[in-house]
Structure 1
């Protein structure tokens, strides 16, 4: 069962690459050229986007924001921690995109905070409607790999 509610016979265990510092670094190095020019902040989505965005920040030198699914009700009470997103061109970063639901929700929340978002980047696009859902919100999705790529290389 995926976050989108869909069931699948294929599961991409993202924690296998997110928990391996050498592999995660290789992925971030390969993703760095995919970061659009003019991006000022990388915004990693809870939970899987956070290790990816941290590693990607090391390769791009860009500051990172860590985006919760909901703002905390204590402490800073912020939705996004780390780099300030208001008035800045922000790239939303996720590990795996299926329907794009969480990216759409988080993008709307970041825009409410003043972030300028027109692009998102993920490690794996499952090619199950995420790109179209994001395009409907004015966000183009790029990915390092797609489900098709992984099927043809296995």
Structure 2
């Protein structure tokens, strides 16, 4: 799917208007609900297909970040045949008590998969945790980079960001849609 068309579909699906209370406690009249594209099989597949060419050579394992990166990483894994691990925000407190579910990551070259990157907090924490387990992490691919930063928000931990779309792409798609009305 053409990137502009993908941006337009995601924006139309995910940008909601109304009254929303944000995590900060502030209220907003607009909200971007990323789970709407992740729960739509056609959009999820389109995002995953657009993500495949962004994977760096040498990627051995995909690292899907809880929660939004998991469905995307699973579809990318299905498309590429690459194994996937699921990285929790914190280790579970029962059973195996693992932070990373799936294969052993020691020595693995892992490309992180995330839905939306803004500040990169979860991806930064996952990078450090995976490196602590012996993995090599140098790239994060995301559906949408909302950071607005050249190179993405993870340069402080030496992780390059590659994105299918940016916030500017979504805003441009919205503006084009508004002009055509």
Fold agreement, TM-score > 0.5? yes
Shift of 1:132: 4.9
What pairs up with 1:109-148 in 2 under 5 angstroms?
109-129=129-149, 131-148=151-168
Q: Is the 8 A contact 2:145 2:152 kept in 1?
A: no
**TM-score normalised by the chain length of structure 2:** 0.78
Post-superposition Cα deviations, 1:62-98, rounded to whole Å, max 9, x if no partner, equal: 0000010011121111100013211010001110011
Structure 1: distance between partners of 2:46 and 2:132: 33
Partner of 2:7: none
Residue equivalent to 1:39:
59
**TM-score of the superposed pair, with normalisation by structure 1:** 0.91
CA contact (8 A) 1:100 1:129 kept: no
One of 19, 27, 35 as aligned partner of 1:15: 35
Number of positions where the alignment pairs a residue of Structure 1 with one of Structure 2: 152
Name the structure 2 match of 1:48.
Answer: 68
| Pairing partner for 2:50 from 9, 18, 30 | 30
Equivalent residue number for residue 127 of structure 2: 107
CA distance in 1, matches of 2:104, 2:29: 39
Which residue does the alignment assign to 1:79? 99
Structure 1: distance between partners of 2:142 and 2:120: 10
Aligned CA RMSD, in angstroms, stands at 1.9
Equivalent-residue separation in structure 2 for 1:92 and 1:6 (angstroms): 30
Secondary structure of the equivalent of 1:120? strand
Q: Could you list the per-position Cα deviations for residues 44-68 of structure 1 after superposition, in whole angstroms to 9, with x for gaps in the alignment?
A: 0100010010011111110000010
Alpha carbons of structure 1 residues 10 and 130: separation in structure 2 relative to 1, 3 Å: farther
Q: Identify unmatched segments of 5+ residues in structure 1.
A: none
Q: Distance in 1 between matches of 2:30 and 2:136?
A: 34
CA distance in 1, matches of 2:49, 2:171: 22
